[in-house]
A = this chain, B = another copy of it.
Amino acid sequence: MSHTLGIRQAQKQKTRQAFLDAALALLEEQSLSSLGLREVTRAVGVAPTAFYRHFRSTADLGVALVDEALGSLHPMVKTTVSTAGDSEERITRAVELIARHVEAYPAHVRFIARERHGGVQPVREAIRDQLARFADEVKAELAKDPQADGWSDDDLLMLAHLYVDQMLITASLFLEALEASQDEREQVAQLATRQMRLISIGRRHWLD
């Protein structure tokens, strides 16, 4: 299936990626609904009309960015939840993983946090759908745990959403603390850890 792309297709994909990269960079200081088509092409170094060869509109570009950003997030979520060890150790590792991800892909995280409730409907919907998929995956992982015995499907999904939202909140906090002192980032980590711990305690006593 992996047919080597022709020179033409390869160049096109390269330009397309340049659009995505440039847009992501521009979006660190504004939101998608104010991102101009010409602004992006200027940053890439191509003519404004070249934009239309790849995207219908900036909203369309935004949807493509959702895929890229949350695509890179998928492995994180999975490993975060399915990490071995006791509950406390799991939490510590999960928080650390989130911190690492934010350091590795700050622009992606910022984009998702910003546009999740942003002013562009198709993008909001794309993010909502992807996060729902995440929640489903988390739910599937949770179901494997013996702790989940006796839990209804609804309750498992409820907990999964709680975890996903908590991850996003934590990621956003790490993002704000990215250029802050080591101490401040440590404080974010401890806050997130304790919140996760409290949720885990609630989980453990859910069926009481």
Chain A residues within CB distance 8 Å of chain B: 27, 29-34, 110, 113-114, 116-119, 154-155, 158-159, 161-162, 165, 169, 172, 191, 194-195, 198-206, 208
Tell me, rounded to whole Å, the shortest Cβ–Cβ distance linking A112 to chain B.
9
Alpha-carbon distance between A103 and B20 when the two chains are bound, in angstroms: 38
Let me know if A200 and B202 touch, CB within 8 A.
Answer: yes
Let me know if B191 and A202 touch, CB within 8 A.
Answer: no
Residue of B29, B33, B158 near A191 (CB, 8 A) is B158
Contacts of A32 in B (CB 8 A): 31
Contacts of A27 in B (CB 8 A): 119
Alpha-carbon distance between A193 and B194 when the two chains are bound, in angstroms: 21
Copies per complex of this chain: 2
* A-B contacts besides A34-B34, A165-B169, A198-B203, 11 pairs, CB < 8 Å: A30-B119, A31-B32, A31-B33, A33-B34, A114-B119, A154-B194, A161-B195, A162-B195, A165-B165, A200-B202, A201-B208
Tell me, rounded to whole Å, the shortest Cβ–Cβ distance linking A114 to chain B.
5
Tell me, rounded to whole Å, the shortest Cβ–Cβ distance linking A111 to chain B.
10
Contacts of A172 in B (CB 8 A): 117
Alpha-carbon distance between A193 and B32 when the two chains are bound, in angstroms: 33
Let me know if A155 and B194 touch, CB within 8 A.
Answer: yes
With known contacts A31-B33, A33-B30, A205-B205, A198–B119 Cβ distance under 8 A? no
Residue of B116, B201, B203 near A206 (CB, 8 A) is B201
Tell me, rounded to whole Å, the shortest Cβ–Cβ distance linking A126 to chain B.
14
